[in-house]
Structures are given as C-alpha cells and as structure tokens.
C-alpha cells in the first residue's frame, strides 16, 4: 500500500473510473482502510443500514463477473464500432466499459455495497440517501491509496441470482458492485467536465448564479 497520502480535493479532482485493472492482490490494510472510510459516511438517524460483501474467491468472482457481462450484453449489445453513431470519445468509453464487462471477474476484489431494508417498510422507504455517501467514500478512499474503482450496478439485472450465489438475505439489496484493483491502463487526472457555470443556477431554474 502506498504511503503517500493525497489531499481531499486532489482526490476529488482526479477521481476517474478505472476499468482496466491489474490482477495483483489488494493489500489487506488498504482494503480495511477503504471500508473504514465507508462506515464513516453519514446516514439518516445514524441508522448505518449498510453491509459490505468482499468477494476475493476466484470462482465466485468469475461467476459474478459472468452475470455482469450478460447484463452488459443485454443492455448494450456486442457494440461493434460505430454501432450507435458514437463520437470518438464515446467510442473510447464504450470500449473501456466493454473491457470491464469482459474482465469484471478478474478484478482482485469485487465489493458489493448492500443496503438492509426494514421488513415492515414499503419499497418507497428505501434509504438510498443513507448508503450513497458510503459509496462515494469508498471511491475516494481507493483513489487516495492509488487503487482504481468504478461504480457499477448492471449486476442488478441478475440480483436474485447474485444474492443466491453469495447467500445474501432477501431483505438486503445490492446497491452497487465496485471492482477494486491497481490501474493497468489510464491515469488519475481531472476528468473532462462541463464548467460549473453551465450546470448551476441561482434562485430560479435557468437563472445564472455567476
């Protein structure tokens, strides 16, 4: 695990999705530090409705990865070049996403972020606001340790099968699947984004703030 610590805003400014990951093991101390960051996240009424399932067994990773790949193909197809009139930049992202789908099961760690639901609470009571801050902490903590991640949820098309495979109870929802590993390709750098002035309004919709 790298001993170099970066500042919070450097981590925020250079966080990118890393979909090409090395098979090298993630150090135990790094994994624990990431999960410690996750449980520091705020949650409604301090309910802490999260659980985290770390999958490192090679066969289980392969099988979870197979579900993810099948879901990807169902949503995006086999994605021949130019199939959807994509720009060159979009084509690169599409190719990167395809690589992840083809190699998800080879990431050294698959982390399932899980949300426990109350048995007596209707579906509209799902407390996503109490789980998503933990997800962001995971992504930032991994970046701080030089580890690559990307937030995915396509596995949810096969959530029943994934839960059965991993013994996850019925009242627990798998909100996110996060592969973790050292980047094989790509680099941490500010991602291309529209300027904040273009996406921010003041007081009323459409009214410029700056």
pLDDT value at residue 82: 44
Measured in degrees and rounded to the nearest 5, phi and psi for residue 119 equal -60, -30
Contacts of 185 (CB under 8 A, 6+ apart): 20
The average confidence (pLDDT) of the chain is 92
pLDDT above 60: residue 83: no
Residue 70, classified by CB atoms within 10 Å of its CB into exposed (0-12), middle (13-18) or buried (19+), is middle
CATH class of the region 8-199: alpha beta
Nearest-angstrom CA–CA distance, 130 and 58:
31
Average pLDDT over residues 157-173: 97
Better-scored residue on pLDDT, 201 or 119: 201
Check pLDDT > 70 for residue 37: yes
Q: How far apart are CA 180 and CA 73, in angstroms?
A: 22
The closest of 53, 14, 9 to 31, measured between CA atoms, is 53
Residue 79 — very low, low, confident or very high, per pLDDT cuts 50/70/90?
A: low
Asked whether the predicted pLDDT for residue 172 surpasses 50, the reply is yes
């Amino acid at each position: 695990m790298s001993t170099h610590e970066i500042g919070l805003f450097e981590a925020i400014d250079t966080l990118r999705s890393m979909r090409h990951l090395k098979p090298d093991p993630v150090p135990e101390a790094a994994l624990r530090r990431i999960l410690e960051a996750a449980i520091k996240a705020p949650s409604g009424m301090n309910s802490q409705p999260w659980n985290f399932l770390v999958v490192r067994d090679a066969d289980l990773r392969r099988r979870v990865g197979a579900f993810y790949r099948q879901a990807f193909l169902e949503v995006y197809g086999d994605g021949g070049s130019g199939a959807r009139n994509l720009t060159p930049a979009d084509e690169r992202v599409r190719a990167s996403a395809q690589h992840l789908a083809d190699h998800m099961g080879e990431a050294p760690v698959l982390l399932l972020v899980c949300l426990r639901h109350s048995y007596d609470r209707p579906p509209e009571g799902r407390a996503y606001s109490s789980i998503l801050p933990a997800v962001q902490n995971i992504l930032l903590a991994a970046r701080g340790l030089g580890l690559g991640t990307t937030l995915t949820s396509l596995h949810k098309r096969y959530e029943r099968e994934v839960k059965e495979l991993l013994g996850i109870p019925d009242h627990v929802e798998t909100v996110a699947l996060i592969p973790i590993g050292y980047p094989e390709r790509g680099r941490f750098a500010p991602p291309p984004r529209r300027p904040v002035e273009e996406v921010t309004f003041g007081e009323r919709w459409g009214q410029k703030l700056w």
